[in-house]
Amino acid sequence: MYGLINKAIRGLVVEQFGQEAWDRIRRRAEIEDDDFVSMTNYDDSLTYDLVGAASEELGLGADAILEGFGGYWVRYTGVEGYGHLLDSAGSSLPEFLANLDQMHARVKLAFPDLKPPRFRVSDSDEAGLVLHYYSHRPGLAPLVIGLVKGLADRFGDVVEVEHLPMNTDGDEHDAFRVRYVSRGQGVQRS
Ligand code: 1MF
């Protein structure tokens, strides 16, 4: 994945747990050079190693770390040069989620090594929606839960997100039921 992801993981750890915690995590993951370059494509294993090392070092489950990272990613990219990208993807949660593939297509135009997941929205009504998630990468469903909650926060909404059991009809993918607990005013810019 692009270095921007690893930079964001470092940002989250340093912000919430401090520089010493980051140094221990980095050493545990056997990463010598943590000057990640945003536009360099790194092996996915580096990112998984970081999450694993953070889980062990912080005593938190990998799922909790991934979910926390999802929320952080929305805030981080909103202030680290991608606010306009996020703004252009929609001014409400359901609109944004429906536009995720378009947003990724736009990023991939500039950065062709991007391997974005695909998303699809179904069953959208005033109570909520179902988000379908198709990824090249295993195990990242908790990250998507954090992304959705972070996006909801961006729009002033509060949501519950439930990871639905996999369907076994040949179209295996993760799906999430998103329920609005309260709706905000829509656009809320960082
Ligand atoms: O393949 C990739 O490197 C990759 C990196 C980030 C693919 C997708 C993403 C974004 N995505 C992360 C979870 C991917 C999980 C998976 O693969 O199953 C989050 C998508 C998302 C969802 C909800 C709300 C916002 C989201 O992302 C916004 C976004 C997406 C991509 C970028 C920025 C914001 C981005 C921009 C430039 C990049 C890489 C990603 O690369 C650079 C950076 C600087 C200079 C040159 C290239």
Q: Is the CB of 39 under 6 A from ligand 1?
A: yes
Q: Is the pLDDT of residue 26 over 90?
A: yes
Encode pLDDT of 64-113 as tens digits: 999 999 999 999 999 999 999 999 999 999 999 999 999 999 999 999 99
Cβ-Cβ contacts under 8 Å for 68 (sequence gap 6 or more): 12, 16, 146
DSSP 77: H
* Predicted local confidence at residue 188, as pLDDT: 55
Q: How far is CA 115 from the centre of its chain?
A: 14
- Side chain identity at 105, as an amino acid letter? A
Tell me how far CA of residue 98 lies from CA of 31, 111, 159, in angstroms.
37, 22, 16
Which of 77, 92, 95, 113 maximizes ligand 1 atoms within 8 Å of its Cβ, making it the mutation to test the pocket?
Answer: 77
Average pLDDT taken over every residue of the chain: 95
Hey, whose CA ends up nearest to atom 10 of ligand 1? 116
The pLDDT confidence band at residue 158, using thresholds 50, 70 and 90, is very high
Q: Got the DSSP string for 116-178? A: --EEEEEEEETTEEEEEEE-SSTT-HHHHHHHHHHHHHHTT-EEEEEEEPPP-SS---EEEEE
Give the CA radius of gyration of the chain: 17
Which of 73, 95, 161 maximizes ligand 1 atoms within 8 Å of its Cβ, making it the mutation to test the pocket?
Answer: 73
Q: Is the CB of 46 under 6 A from ligand 1?
A: no
- With tokens 């059991």, the residue in question is 165
Taking a C-beta distance cutoff of 8 angstroms, is the pair 11, 29 a contact? no
Taking a C-beta distance cutoff of 8 angstroms, is the pair 95, 177 a contact? no
The pLDDT confidence band at residue 171, using thresholds 50, 70 and 90, is confident
Q: Is the CB of 74 under 6 A from ligand 1?
A: yes
Q: How far is the CA of 74 from the centre of ligand 1 (A)?
A: 10
Hey, whose CA ends up nearest to atom 34 of ligand 1? 77
The pLDDT confidence band at residue 190, using thresholds 50, 70 and 90, is low
Tell me how far CA of residue 106 lies from CA of 44, 63, 86, 89, in angstroms.
22, 29, 11, 10
Q: What is the dihedral of CA 107, 172, 150, 152, to 10 degrees?
A: 100
Taking a C-beta distance cutoff of 8 angstroms, is the pair 176, 164 a contact? yes
